[in-house]
Amino acid sequence: MLQKIKNEIVESQIFKSVFRHGYPDNDLDRAYAIFSSVFLHIHPVKVRRSALRMRYTFCLGGITLFLFIILSVTGIWLMFYYTPYTGLAYRNIKDLQFVIFGGNLMRDLHRFAAHGMVLFVWLHMTRVFLTGAYKAPREFNWIVGVVLLVNTLVLSWTGYLLPWDQLAYWAVTVGAKMASYTPLIGQNGPWGPQLGFLPTNDIMFMLLGGTVVGQNALIRFYVLHCVVLPLVVTVFLAVHFWRIRKDGFSGPL
């Protein structure tokens, strides 16, 4: 009976138009299931049995990716309730905390997944380092990885401003102040003033869109956090995974 229902579904025109293969209970369909799916085809069709050993990767890269997916989903959910306006942002977060159904859950998930992503991207990098997986021919993928690491940190930092509370405001004020010390192009940096950089035209001004953290900074950080940086991470992740397939996986694969 169940077998019959399954066959009805698997043989239907709709199913066949979506999946160009039968249910993966035989080797041919198992192969098709992987390489005919845009999501699954980042995998090879087959891997060595030993590659399944958890003690090599500890799944750290995969966990980082999964945290990034959680962050994207919860982040988009939060965007429905958030206004990047200094007069409203803080109240929006308070609403998430006390009024909106599931608000706390989503905000907590977003916050801790973010901490987790920073931690796991570091652990993943350490695993890659300790297994020598950055050596030829994978040097470039290591560079892509470092770009991902830096982006992960900047994503966390830009997101930090959005609740517009004391923690957010001062962490970003102090961080942005660092930019003003940049040599050559910062108002306080060595040779900055000599080269004509003032509070109104230096690198910190560019970052904040003003001389202090205010509305312009909030909208900048918002756009960076919700659009630009996630896109950059996604593009580099695509390159990252592509290169793992092309360069071959280092492990006992």
Q: Which residues contact ligand HEM (rule: CB under 6 A)? A: 57, 60-62, 64-65, 68, 121, 124-125, 128, 131, 133-134, 138, 141-142, 145-146, 148-149, 152, 237, 240, 244, 249-251
Q: From other proteins, ligand HEM, none, which one binds at residue 204 (CB under 5 to 8 Å depending on kind)?
A: none
Which residues in the 164-193 window bind other proteins by CB under 8 A? 164-171, 174-175, 177-179, 181-183, 186, 188-191
What is the rounded distance in angstroms from the CA atom of residue 6 to the CA atom of residue 9? Answer: 5
Q: From ligand HEM, other proteins, none, which one binds at residue 244 (CB under 5 to 8 Å depending on kind)?
A: ligand HEM
Q: Site for other proteins (CB under 8 A): which residue of 76, 143, 223, 235?
A: 143
Task: Measure CA 75 to chain center.
Answer: 11
Torsion sign (Cα): 92, 82, 223, 148: positive
What is the rounded distance in angstroms from the CA atom of residue 49 to the CA atom of residue 74? Answer: 35
Sorted by sequence, the CB contacts under 8 Å of residue 222 that are 6+ apart come out as 84, 162
228 touches other proteins by CB under 8 A: no
227 touches other proteins by CB under 8 A: no
- Measured in degrees and rounded to the nearest 5, phi and psi for residue 137 equal -95, 20
Which residues in the 81-110 window bind other proteins by CB under 8 A? 86, 90, 93-94, 97, 104-105, 107-110
Residue type, 29: D
Binding segment for other proteins (CB under 8 A), chosen from 6-14, 144-152, 219-227, 233-241, is: 144-152
15 touches other proteins by CB under 8 A: no
Give whichever of 89 and 121 is closer to ligand HEM, judged by the CB atom: 121
Q: What's the DSSP call for residue 188?
A: S
The end-to-end CA distance of the chain, in Å, is 41
Report residue 132 as tokens: 């020598």
